[in-house]
Structure 1
Amino acid sequence: MHKNNTITRIALIRHGETAWNAERRLQGHLDIDLNNEGRRQAVALAAALAGEQVDVLVSSDLARAAQTAKALGEVLHLPLFIDGRLRERCYGGFEGLLYSEIAERYPREFAAWQGRDVDGTLPPGQNRGESFREFHDRVIPAILGWAADNPGKSLVLVAHGGVLECAYRAALGLSLETPRDFKVLNASINRFIVQDGKLELVSWGEVDHLQQAVLDDV
């Protein structure tokens, strides 16, 4: 069978910092804006990507991702496409709580979550929670779909920590049950290629652009 050797490049970016990130409060589908540090990170990120060839810019529909992406769009002179499938995982009743509060209020569900029960249900809240498997099965087809629709192009997708985790696992063939022993950093650049409908990891957790901005401020 003829193989398709077209390579599509994807830079997958986690949104800049929010006040809730800074205090370890779970956001999920709750719509939280970037804080001052997050806005600074978005500007630094845009400067870092300014010299790169980017054809398509896509963001989750949550404000923290869209605000980060808009900073990129202004520098790259690209329209911004919004895709709700790239939203963070919905955590149901966990949303809006500090991690410490989740452990106290929902000890059984918290233990299942920390124990990587990928089909574990979450307590109801403002939004219906998703199991990790449901979340993964929403996110990966979305990423691969953008690649399939833009063969041979270079894409930037701005999303969330959980979305990046799913992509990392898919690219390395990691089971959903294995612990997350890798960092997913705010405003990091994480590079993949898609070939023959499969994600492959190129580089992970690029954050030099953020450090440089800090040094420039001294």
Structure 2
Amino acid sequence: MRTLYVVTHPEATHHVEGVVGGWHDSQLTPAGVRAAASIAQALRAQVPDGAEVELFSSDLQRTRRTAEDVAELFGVKPILDRRLREKSYGEAGGRPQEWLDRRFVPPPAAGERLEHDEGIEGAETKAALAQRVYAAMDEILQRPCEHQIIVTHGGSLTFVVASWIKMPIGSVGYASFRAPSGSITRLCEDDFFHNRQVVSLGDTSHLSGLQAG
């Protein structure tokens, strides 16, 4: 049975500073660093001892730092892949969130949503984000390893899950799988029917004992 453990990075500086994330290369906060250690411990408890593990991560600092704790516990080296990055918000990246909110053009309720222009110079469309995440997932799933860990971002997680369940890209215009920061989503494919399950989505039970400070 193949199992994917999809991690959304924990609290980063753009969260507490109220600025737009995306490709803005923010770092984990002290709380985020503590959460990364808890994520690694939770994954170590879920993966059978002795199992081969592969680790993939977005190349941004906040995901790389999260992956480092996981890598240390499993004795593996993260494979960095820029295709697992969050959506690019173009010129809004690193600016105050309210700057983006004033200019953002939401997608229509019906009609073209994948190629919709949000009104921000340089921002990725949903189609571009979906295509690169799907491409990364295609390569990950071609590998025979039964236990794979993917460290990514909250926005990108939708497309990781959609790719896993083989949702056609043309149908993801309305898709949204929500998972909080620092969460673990578990995806499993059985060896008999080869059905692909979303076993858990956005689990944060491993963060319950953490205290701010």
Q: Which category describes the TM-score, using the shorter chain as reference length?
A: 0.7 to 0.9
Instruction: Work out the CA distance in 1 between the residues paired with 2:108 and 2:158.
Output: 15
Instruction: Work out the CA distance in 1 between the residues paired with 2:187 and 2:135.
Output: 15
Secondary structure of residue in 2 paired with 1:13: strand
- Structure 2: segments with no counterpart, 5+ residues: none
For 1:120, the equivalent position in structure 2 comes to 116
Contact 1:93 1:122 in 2 (8 A): no
Aligned-partner residue type, residue 97 of structure 1: R
Cα shift at 1:25: 2.3
Contact 1:167 1:199 in 2 (8 A): no
Instruction: Work out the CA distance in 2 between the residues paired with 1:169 and 1:190.
Output: 13
Instruction: Work out the CA distance in 2 between the residues paired with 1:152 and 1:57.
Output: 10
Secondary structure of residue in 1 paired with 2:3: strand
Answering whether residue 15 of structure 2 is matched by residue 15 of structure 1, we say no
Instruction: Work out the CA distance in 1 between the residues paired with 2:125 and 2:41.
Output: 36
For 1:166, the equivalent position in structure 2 comes to 159
Contact 2:58 2:85 in 1 (8 A): yes
Aligned-partner residue type, residue 102 of structure 1: L
Of residues 55, 58, 64, the one that matches 1:57 is: 55
- TM-score w.r.t. the length of structure 2 is 0.82
- Alignment RMSD (CA, Å): 2.8
Instruction: Work out the CA distance in 2 between the residues paired with 1:208 and 1:158.
Output: 17
For 1:3, the equivalent position in structure 2 comes to none
Contact 2:105 2:117 in 1 (8 A): no
Instruction: Work out the CA distance in 1 between the residues paired with 2:133 and 2:203.
Output: 22
Of residues 79, 87, 90, the one that matches 2:88 is: 90
Q: Sequence identity, in percent? A: 25
For 2:174, the equivalent position in structure 1 comes to 178
Contact 1:147 1:194 in 2 (8 A): no
Contact 2:55 2:79 in 1 (8 A): yes
For 2:132, the equivalent position in structure 1 comes to 138
Instruction: Work out the CA distance in 1 between the residues paired with 2:127 and 2:194.
Output: 20
Answering whether residue 67 of structure 2 is matched by residue 69 of structure 1, we say yes
Deviations 1:127-162 (A, max 9, x none): x3210011101101212311212x252000101112
Instruction: Work out the CA distance in 1 between the residues paired with 2:196 and 2:125.
Output: 22
Instruction: Work out the CA distance in 2 between the residues paired with 1:99 and 1:114.
Output: 21
Instruction: Work out the CA distance in 1 between the residues paired with 2:21 and 2:108.
Output: 17
Instruction: Work out the CA distance in 1 between the residues paired with 2:42 and 2:14.
Output: 25
Number of equivalenced pairs = 202
Aligned-partner residue type, residue 208 of structure 1: S
For 1:211, the equivalent position in structure 2 comes to 208
